[in-house]
Structure 1
Amino acid sequence: MATSPPHPSYASGPAYPSGPADGAPLAGPGTAGSLRHAHWWQRAWVRYGALSTLLAISGLVILALVREETGTEGFLVGLGLAVLPVPLLIAAFRWLDRVEPGPWRNLLFCFAWGACAAALIAIVANSFATRWIATATADPSSADTLGATVIAPVVEESAKAAAVLLVFLFRRRDFTGIVDGVVIAGVTATGFAFTENILYLGTAFGTDQLTGGTGIASVTAATFFVRIVMSPFAHPLFTVLSGIGFGIAALSADRRPLRRVVFPLGGLLLAMGMHAMWNGSSAFGEYGFFAVYAAFMVPIFGLLTWLVIWTRQRELRTVRAELPAYAVAGWLTPAEPYALGSMRARRIARQYARRHVGRAAAREVARYEAYATSLAFLRHRARQGRSGPDFAVREGELLGELWRRREVARPALDHAARITAPPVPVTAPPWPVYGVYGYGPQPTPYPAYNPYRS
Structure 2
Amino acid sequence: MSMHPHQPDSGESGHAGQRASQPGLSPGSQGYFPGQANPSWMGRVEPEYYRPAPGHAGAPLPSVGPALAGGGGPGGGMRSAGLALVVGGAALAFLSLFLVVPFLLANTGVSGFAVGFVVSLIPLTAVLLTVHAIDRWEPEPKRLLFFAFTWGAAVSVAVTLLIQPVFALTFQFSDVADLQTYMATVQAPVVEEFAKSLGLLVLLLLARKHFDGPVDGVVFAFTIAGGFAFTENILYFGRAIAESASPATDLAQIFLLRGVMSPFAHAIFTGTTGLIMGYAARRWHSGASVVAFFVGLLPAMILHNRWNSMGEGFLVEYIVIQVPIFVLAVVGVILLRVAEIRLTRQRLLEYSAAGWFSPAEVELLATPRGRRTALHWAAGYNRRPQMKSFLHAATQLAFIRQRILSGRDIGLHQAEEQHQLHRIVSLRAAVAG
- Which band: TM-score by shorter chain? 0.7 to 0.9
* Distance in 2, Cα, partners of 1:20 & 1:103: 31
Percent identity of the aligned residues? 34
CA contact (8 A) 1:178 1:308 kept: no
How has the CA–CA distance of structure 1 residues 191 and 76 changed in structure 2, closer, same or farther, with 3 Å as cutoff?
same
CA contact (8 A) 2:349 2:359 kept: yes
Q: How far 1:333 sits from its partner (Å)? A: 3.4
Task: Pick from 351, 360, 369 the counterpart of residue 326 of structure 1.
Answer: 351
Deviates more, 1:13-22 or 1:75-84: 13-22
Matched, 1:400 2:422: yes
Equivalence for 1:170: 206
SS in 1 for 2:410: coil
* Distance in 1, Cα, partners of 2:284 & 2:105: 47
Q: How far 1:150 sits from its partner (Å)? A: 0.8
How has the CA–CA distance of structure 1 residues 259 and 206 changed in structure 2, closer, same or farther, with 3 Å as cutoff?
same
Alignment of 1:5-404 (within 5 A): 10-11=21-22, 12=32, 13-14=50-51, 16-17=53-54, 44-130=82-168, 132=169, 142-208=178-244, 211=245, 213=246, 215=248, 218-252=249-283, 260-282=289-311, 286-287=312-313, 289-357=314-382, 361-386=383-408, 388-404=410-426
Equivalence for 1:451: none
CA contact (8 A) 1:157 1:239 kept: yes
How has the CA–CA distance of structure 1 residues 388 and 294 changed in structure 2, closer, same or farther, with 3 Å as cutoff?
farther
How has the CA–CA distance of structure 1 residues 74 and 140 changed in structure 2, closer, same or farther, with 3 Å as cutoff?
farther
SS in 2 for 1:405: helix
RMSD: 3.3
Larger CA Rg, structure 1 vs 2: 1
Q: How far 1:47 sits from its partner (Å)? A: 4.9
* Distance in 1, Cα, partners of 2:247 & 2:193: 34
CA contact (8 A) 1:86 1:194 kept: yes
SS in 1 for 2:127: helix
How has the CA–CA distance of structure 1 residues 125 and 258 changed in structure 2, closer, same or farther, with 3 Å as cutoff?
closer
* Distance in 1, Cα, partners of 2:427 & 2:240: 54
How has the CA–CA distance of structure 1 residues 290 and 389 changed in structure 2, closer, same or farther, with 3 Å as cutoff?
farther
* Distance in 2, Cα, partners of 1:162 & 1:326: 37
Q: How far 1:224 sits from its partner (Å)? A: 0.8
How has the CA–CA distance of structure 1 residues 326 and 214 changed in structure 2, closer, same or farther, with 3 Å as cutoff?
closer
How has the CA–CA distance of structure 1 residues 21 and 45 changed in structure 2, closer, same or farther, with 3 Å as cutoff?
farther
* Distance in 2, Cα, partners of 1:55 & 1:21: 50
* Distance in 1, Cα, partners of 2:306 & 2:278: 24
Q: Which has the higher contact order (CA 8 A, sep 6+)?
A: 2
CA contact (8 A) 1:350 1:365 kept: yes
Q: How far 1:200 sits from its partner (Å)? A: 0.6
* Distance in 1, Cα, partners of 2:146 & 2:360: 35
CA contact (8 A) 2:90 2:150 kept: no
CA contact (8 A) 2:390 2:427 kept: yes
SS in 1 for 2:310: helix
SS in 2 for 1:308: helix
TM-score calculated relative to the size of structure 1: 0.75
Equivalence for 1:422: none
SS in 2 for 1:390: helix
* Distance in 1, Cα, partners of 2:196 & 2:89: 16
SS in 2 for 1:232: coil
CA contact (8 A) 1:78 1:199 kept: yes
1:251 alignment partner AA: R
What is the CA deviation profile of residues 360-380 of structure 1, one whole-angstrom value per residue up to 9, with x for unaligned ones? Answer: x32332222122112223334
Q: How far 1:319 sits from its partner (Å)? A: 2.0
